[in-house]
Chain A
Amino acid sequence: MGLRAFCGDLPPRIPYWTGAVPVESLPLPQRATLLWREASPGDVGVAVGDSVQTGQNLAREGTGLFMSTVTGTVEEIDSLQGADAVEYAVVGIKTVEVDSYDSSINGIEDLANTAPEQILAMIIRAGFPGFDAVVQGATVETLIISALDQEPLTAVNAQVLLERANDVSDGIAMLSRATGAKKVVVAIPHNSAHAADDISVDQAEIVKVRATYPNGLPEILAKKQGAGLLLTTERNGTVGNTLVVSIEHLVGMVSCLREGRPFVNKIVTCCGKSGGELKNILVRIGTPVSMALDNLDVKLPPGGKLIINGPMHGYACFSDEQPMTATSDSVLVQKPAEVHRFESTACMNCGRCSAVCPVNLEVNLLGRFSEYGIFDKCAELGAENCIECGLCVYVCPARRPLLHLLAHARFVVKEETVEK
């Protein structure tokens, strides 16, 4: 490590966590907050004071699926503007200790004799995220099961791979039939290849992927292992052909279909301080992050950072009431002294950002064009391909807020494209 720190590695090696991190269950929160992306309070079909059941669809008829993960009484319905200019509907629920489950989620006992559409519908109904494009009718050509965590300091998939590798085979068989995928790829970290022995599926291809950031990001997996585009929904329809499902969600689907229960518990890796020990907790989706901090016995340092979903491309929350969602993988607390400060320095053109960019963007130029509002040039340079991995920021010696600039450029380019 000493020599490597002396020699400037490009790209920097940011390894994924691969050790065992035992999971501890957290009690049910007294109040759960549920977030619904790209929806307004008007789309919510329940009112303040209504009782809701676990697994109940809270969306107004015909507006999609917004599943309650707890049983209790609705206390608050509000809206929230996300950092990416997306509106969220927020529903606060006062929980009761004993869950009563919504009757529309049932187990499927004989998977082999059930129609694929029915299995898929039940998976989606159970609350697994990432199927928006499939719901809109897109075909899945490649299905990638990722056993890699997306970020460093995250040990969710690593732990699931250690604990429940034997459920993976069932899950792959079920999901590949349900989605009708022509090709199934299982991506496994190169240094835990022993797990490949436990996974035996005839139709799936097992690929060892180098366990360094950003190889676990879905866009990169879809491109490198599936040679396709990630399935995404656009305003005009769906694009892509590759569905990436994390191994945690996959074994979750197996359990849900066996037991007929919705997907309500999520493993989250917590790290109270930089260099501190990792801790995996099992929380109910909707639990505020403050409960995870209490469990770690960490006080929020004033002026510090509370980061959800990893130190590289995660987001810094403004509140410790931020709830865990179905895709929250990790919580990290930084002291004010550890917080990386951006500087208003001009680009010195060293080219490190372009050298580390996993999608070969000319970040040095994009940063400047975005800073001065020349978005036509940003579109020419392919700004929409930025996956916001944060590596350019990580290496920038001038400490420019490159991710901010590129994300802005991407947003504007996308808006303009849709308008045309």
Chain B
Amino acid sequence: MKAADLTVSTGSHWHSGARITDFSYNTLLALIPAIAMGLYRYGVCAAGVIGTAVASAMIAEAAMQKILGKPVRIADGSAAVSGLLLALLLPANTPAYMVVVASVIGITIGKLCFGGLGANPLSPALVGWAVLRITKPWAGYLDFDLALINYDLGFSMQYPLAVLKASGSSGLQDFNTWNLFLGNQTGGIGASAIVCVLGGGLYMIARGLVRWEIPLCFLLGVIIASCLFRLVDSAAYAGPLFHIVTGNVMIGAFFLSTDNSSAPINRWGMVAFGLCCGMITVVLRVWSVYPDGVVFACLLMSLFVPLLDKLKATPIVVRPTRAQITRKTVEGGASS
């Protein structure tokens, strides 16, 4: 047969049109309401933090890929998303050098050292944030009550989780759950805009870019753990609704824990991952020295992802397995 001028390849010859950039660009889109809320609340300071974080993450990624001799792929938008998520967790007046350190470490050590997008066991934004959090001299900058002391936004300027830590659930009378849900609380630039983050998260689920299992089970985990604490002592521990609408839980459930490469991909793995993240969050809020535990919970559970991915559906056998073929051979040998 004479070869013609044709393209030859394996199937499938159709494609759904999905691209890697779908994930990052849609995440950026979904976070716009939260960014807008942050800018409205904290003004140009917030813009500075977001801009610094995104720019330094992208520059770090491009520079590192150049140094490592890999193709530069900052256009896939994943570095921008990492930088943005990091910025949304920080107080509005975080010094620029801290932001740069966090995003550069997040991108280089958290991501590119492991081989880049898809190979990182931990979410780069979370690695960056955790570095700031555990660096002792900088602890004051991440304490929202101290950091945002000069702002008066017309609602209680006390960080709800710090109040909970200091005086138990009896100190929470000033906080109205509905107001907290609308984002009338201090906290990270975007993370505190609970309703905006929830809207963005639902958009991501509707687009099929975030699977529903992790966010749902994350929130479920928070509810279960806080109800358990509540059963023990309802005066000392806050209720599930308070936990869901404060701090980083909402952004954690929809955006931080669902980072593609540091989350399981099989259904029951995702369910276990989400539940554990949520429960550990509440446990850390109650027993750790930090007011919020979302980031550490996500980081901790990300380490268990290879294990959680073992919770998978067994392959459907449509072809003879090794055992069956060997058995046939034995049978054939016996009959002949």
Question: B-contacting residues of A (Cβ < 8 Å)?
Answer: 6-10, 12, 14, 33, 80, 83, 90, 219-220, 222-223, 229-230, 232, 234, 236-240, 300, 302-307, 311-322, 332, 334, 336, 339-340, 342, 345-352, 354-355, 358-362, 364, 379, 381-382, 384-385, 387-388, 390-391, 393-399, 401, 403-404, 407, 417-418, 420
Contacts and interface: CB of A to CB of B under 8 A. Distances in A.
B322 A379 contact: yes
A332 B209 CA distance: 31
Given A359-B315, A362-B312, A317 B6 contact: yes
Nearest to A398: B20
A348 B264 CA distance: 12
Interface of B: 1-16, 18-20, 22-23, 115-119, 206-209, 211, 260-261, 264-266, 309, 312-322, 324-326, 328-329, 331-332
Nearest to B266: A354
A230 B317 CA distance: 10
Contacts of B22: 397
Given A237-B328, A239-B324, A359-B316, A394 B14 contact: yes
23 contacts: A80-B1, A230-B318, A236-B328, A240-B320, A302-B5, A305-B6, A306-B4, A319-B4, A321-B1, A349-B261, A350-B265, A354-B265, A359-B316, A359-B318, A385-B318, A391-B12, A393-B10, A394-B14, A397-B19, A398-B20, A404-B9, A404-B10, A417-B325
Contacts of B331: 237
A320 B315 CA distance: 38
A73 to B, nearest CB: 19
A312 B14 contact: yes
A120 to B, nearest CB: 22
Contacts of B8: 305, 316-318
Contacts of A316: 6-9, 13
Contact of B13 (A302, A334, A354, A388): A334
Nearest to B333: A236
Given A229-B318, A340-B12, A355-B211, 12 more contacts: A220-B318, A237-B329, A239-B319, A239-B324, A300-B4, A304-B7, A316-B6, A340-B15, A351-B266, A354-B312, A360-B312, A396-B18
Contacts of A239: 319-320, 324-325, 328
A349 B12 CA distance: 20
B10 A382 contact: no
Nearest to A349: B261
A322 B290 CA distance: 69
The A contact surface, by secondary structure, is loop
Contacts, number: 210
A44 to B, nearest CB: 17
Given A219-B318, A234-B325, A390 B332 contact: no
Nearest to B18: A397
Complex A-B, nearest 5 residue pairs according to Cβ-Cβ distance, in ascending order: A8-B208, A351-B265, A390-B12, A382-B315, A348-B118
Nearest to B259: A349
Contacts of B315: 359-361, 381-382, 385
A348 B265 CA distance: 11
Nearest to B21: A397
Contacts of A234: 320, 325, 328
B329 to A, nearest CB: 5
Which of B1, B15, B207, B318 neighbours the largest number of chain A CB atoms within 10 Å of its CB? B318
B248 to A, nearest CB: 23
Given A12-B16, A359-B316, A319 B1 contact: yes
A316 B2 CA distance: 15
Contacts of B265: 349-351, 354-355, 364
B208 A7 contact: yes
A340 B13 contact: yes
A385 B321 CA distance: 8
B50 to A, nearest CB: 24
Nearest to A14: B14
B12 A393 contact: yes
